[in-house]
Chain A
Amino acid sequence: MKTIKLILASSLMIISLLLSAQPIIFNDSTIQNSIYTRAGIEPASMIGFGYQRNVNANFLRQTITLYAECNFAAFKFNWDNSELKIGAITPIYQIKSFKIINNFNLSLGSVVTQNFESKKFAFANEIAFGIYKQKWHLALTAEYEKIYLNYLAHSDFYKTTYYEDAVDGWYTGAGGMFQVGIEVGKTFYQKFDVNLELKMPVTEKFNAYLSPGHANLIIGYRF
């Protein structure tokens, strides 16, 4: 029984680590907007809320989906443990239903721990390639995220118990992360999207994380 629970918990953790997709709306000319919510693990348990909008980029001769989303730690639901993200999704290559999609985003994150508070600035780029039909899509994804700047402030606890000379301030060199995964999405009743994404993360030097996978389940509404 204990083994089964362990397997179930492991599976849940792996699945939850892979979910980070969002509804794909750039190929729907009947609507312009979508709101969505996500729940998953990446790597902590997260709940997110997002908005995206199609815009016609004449200079690219195609539609770009711009988006903004806010993610919160599910079990520490406050601004101290959150992430704001803005980005753009655009197809960069397509033959009929096969598409290669680029998703670029910038993020600002915050975390408060027993030892330190960190604000991070990061950028990420994801390439997804797969089949994108009007009502469903299936794609493989590859993503790289680089943390390019942090602001660290150490707690009194940290300075008293561990290191009194810990330096607060701006830091570079926090590293980056690769993720590869699979993403599926389906649209119901022309308005409602359900997406699932599973990803395997490694650091940019190919070290493992405590959590072996990221997973997100997204539910969206088009209008």
Chain B
Amino acid sequence: MKNLLIITSLIFLISCAKHDFDEPGNLLPKTVSEDPYLPRIEINGTVLHAESFGEIGNPIIIFLHGGPGSDYRSFISEKGLENASRYPDERTTKDAGLSQLQDEYYCVFYDQRGGGLSPRFDIGEVTFDIYLEDLNQIIDFYLTKKEEETGIADAQVYIVGWSYGGILATGYINQYPTKVKDVVLYEPGPYSVESREYYKAQKSSVFGEIGNNWLEEYLLSQDHLTPDGHERADYQYMLLPASSPGSQPEFHSDPNAPLWRSGALVRRENLDFSRSENFDITSNLSAFTGRMLFIGSDKVIGEIPEYPGIQMKYYSNSELITISGVGHTGPWEKPTEIASHIRNFFQ
């Protein structure tokens, strides 16, 4: 009887104290949809997690993070310093990472829809065209803000794109070639069929990874939770960036590079054209009169040496700089060095 009482009490306690996998804030940080205190911008019929640093009178840089589905946390964090909290008030370092450029530029960071602390969207609700329109409206918003607050009527911004952000930047410049002055791309994802095929040929198949730790962990986790809800899908997906040295060894990423959330469902969209046979986001790049700086890490370029050349040829005026001792997470690992190159290039 005593044992029965203990067991019953235990079951009662557990049932009272349990949490819900799908309740926001338990496993992953709340997004702007659930947390009214997060910094935000309202554009294109949605609210996106966004913040800006610096004096609005300075030239504007728009930063485009990777993914698709990731966020800008690594842009404003720095290896060896505290990772940027999702609450700006709780950050002890205000100019970490590439946000250090705020002393000369007005730096705008935002989480693309479906990723990071921006709202989640169901499958089929996010397209590349929507991403372009979001970016266009963000640029217009800050150019208007600048004119209203300073009287300076700028018509152009600078763009810094990292990984998938490079695809988005290129797609944007292809569509709005006069709205961007110059662009810096840190190891941009493939934005042409040629560069995508070259990259895929260098990449190992997932089937060859059977038995490797990262894949086993990911598969075993599927026995413990299903990816049916946004929260669960994102939470399970977070195992992949955590295991990037195993799952994407060619990137030489530092797995400690922080992020708030990687949107699993938005990653299933074809936003990087990886499942497209024909796509075109470069045919109008000749109308772009600005310059492009391709920044690559020596570790990644060592794996895919022809990649920068393939990517750069779509821009009529481009340069290449290599950062030594880092991989794909270079902007988080060596932001001061990269910021210095960005300053020199934009001047």
Chain A residues near B (Cβ < 8 Å): 5-6, 9-10, 13, 42-45, 73-76, 81, 83, 109, 111, 113-115, 118, 120, 147, 149-150, 152, 157-158, 160-167, 169-177, 203-205, 207, 209-211
Q: Once the chains bind, are A113 and B19 in contact (CB under 8 Å)?
A: no
Q: With A and B bound together, what is the CA distance between A205 and B255 in angstroms?
A: 32
B:1-16 near A, CB below 8 Å:
14
Interface of B is mostly: loop
Contact of B224 among A109, A203, A204, A207 (CB under 8 A): A109
CB distance from A154 to the nearest CB of B (A): 8
Please give, as numbers and ranges, the residues of chain A lying within 8 Å of B21 by CB-CB distance: 150, 171-175
Q: Is there a chain A Cβ closer than 8 Å to B140's Cβ? A: no
Shortest Cβ distance from A112 into B: residue = B217
Interface size class of chain B, counting residues whose CB lies under 8 Å from the partner chain = 35 or more
Interface assignment of B213: CB less than 8 Å from any CB of chain A:
yes
- The A-B contact count (CB < 8 A) is 155
Binds A, one of B107-115, B188-196, B238-246: B238-246
Q: Most B CB atoms within 10 A — which of A75, A157, A205? A: A75
Residues of A within 8 A of B83 (CB): 160-161
The 9 closest A-B pairs by CB, nearest first: A175-B226, A9-B207, A44-B219, A174-B225, A170-B18, A203-B226, A173-B21, A113-B217, A118-B224
Q: How far is the CB of A74 from chain B (nearest CB, A)?
A: 8
Q: Decide yes or no whether B29 CB sits under 8 A from chain A.
A: yes
User: Closest CB of chain A to B10's CB: distance in Å?
Assistant: 11
Which residues of chain A have C-beta atoms less than 8 A from B205's C-beta? 6, 9
B228 touches A203 (CB 8 A): yes
* Cα–Cα, bound, A136→B7 (Å): 43
Complex CA–CA separation, A13 to B215 (angstroms): 13
B208 at the interface (CB under 8 A from A): yes
Does B81 sit at the interface, judged by CB under 8 A?
no
Q: Complex: how many Å from CA A9 to CA B19?
A: 39
Q: Are A111 and B217 in contact (CB under 8 A)?
A: yes
CB distance from B70 to the nearest CB of A (A): 11
Decide if A43 touches B223 in the complex (CB within 8 Å): yes
Rounded to whole angstroms, the CA-CA distance of A173 and B21 in the bound complex is 6
